Amino acid sequence: MTARFGDAALRWAGLAAQALGWRPAEFWAATPIELATALAPPDDLSSLPPPSREAIARMMERDADGQ
């Protein structure tokens, strides 16, 4: 690892920790596009309809083992 890469990685890891709450393992597991997407300003979501009750139930069922 070069000094330039190491310095940049340290700055990006710090930003990811502060802005996203990522721990080092989460930072290093992310691809550059995942990091860029996570740090990008949100799109205007006001035109999107809210999720249906069924969609919420599916998400809750899918993610239930993470509780």
Q: What is the CA radius of gyration of the chain?
A: 17
pLDDT value for 66: 58
Report d(CA 13, CA 53) in Å as an integer.
Answer: 37
pLDDT value for 64: 82
- What are the residue boundaries of the structural domains of the chain, listed by start? 1-40
Counting as low any pLDDT under 70, the low residues of the chain are: 1, 66-67
Around 4, how many Cα atoms within 13 Å sit in the side-chain half-sphere?
0
pLDDT value for 1: 63
